[in-house]
Amino acid sequence: MTDADLSVAAAIVRNIDLLEATYDYVDDKIDPALGEAVGKLLTRKRDEFGWIGEVEMSFEDSMYLAPSDWRKAEDEEDNFDLYFAFDAIGESTQSWIGNLVGVEGAGMGFEILSDSGTKAAVRGRLRTIVRDDPALLENLRASGFSWSPKGDLTVPVTITREALAAAFEDEDFDTALAPIAEALDRIHAARKHLDLLVNRIRGVAG
């Protein structure tokens, strides 16, 4: 270890009780409160748009949405040719609040997913679709979507630390979580492009 590492280690050891209490408080209080607030927001927007999907009041459970006509044909369960889930994107931290405010490059947002195969297979299908129809990808990018070469289509969400701190102080999360609502509005506004993507996944020309 370097001298700097040794100094940091000594400081951590001296303050280990505080650090452990902080982690426990995040797990027991902050992350559950955030999960409930986000779940309520997603439920409200789902009902506003007339979509379906499972939205729990916890980050540890499912939070996914989709228009009903994206459900797979003759499916008796909630399996979709395309849906979007609110989850960690890219790197992940030890806490959901860390993901939400982007600690050390972490992030959260909506990821476009499909029940039409394994994740690797779906990524491959998406890569083929955007290769064959670059205009579709450009339209999605113009609508606020991000695309990674490995085949991930996402709508990232950025929440500021100060806005979230104020939300806890005021017991009002509407302003802090507004970027999540705005991301859903962008997805809703891009429906015609996403419908085209669904048709491509289903193998339907159009």
pLDDT in tens, 104-119: 889 999 999 999 888 8
Residue 75 sits at the vertex; the CA angle it makes with 50 and 125, to the nearest 5 degrees, is 90
pLDDT band at 204 (very low <50, low <70, confident <90, very high): low
Q: What is the pLDDT of residue 134?
A: 95
pLDDT band at 74 (very low <50, low <70, confident <90, very high): confident
Alpha-carbon distances of 192 from 20, 187, 195, rounded to whole Å: 49, 10, 5
Q: What is the pLDDT of residue 183?
A: 97
Domains identified in the chain, total number: 1
Which residue range is the domain that position 139 belongs to?
Answer: 3-202
**H or E element at residue 112:** strand 108-113
Give the 3-state secondary structure of 19-82: HHHHHHHHHHHHHHHHHHHHHHHHHHHHHHHCCECCECCCCCCCEEEECHHHECCCCCCCCECC
What six digits make up the tokens of 15? 């303050």
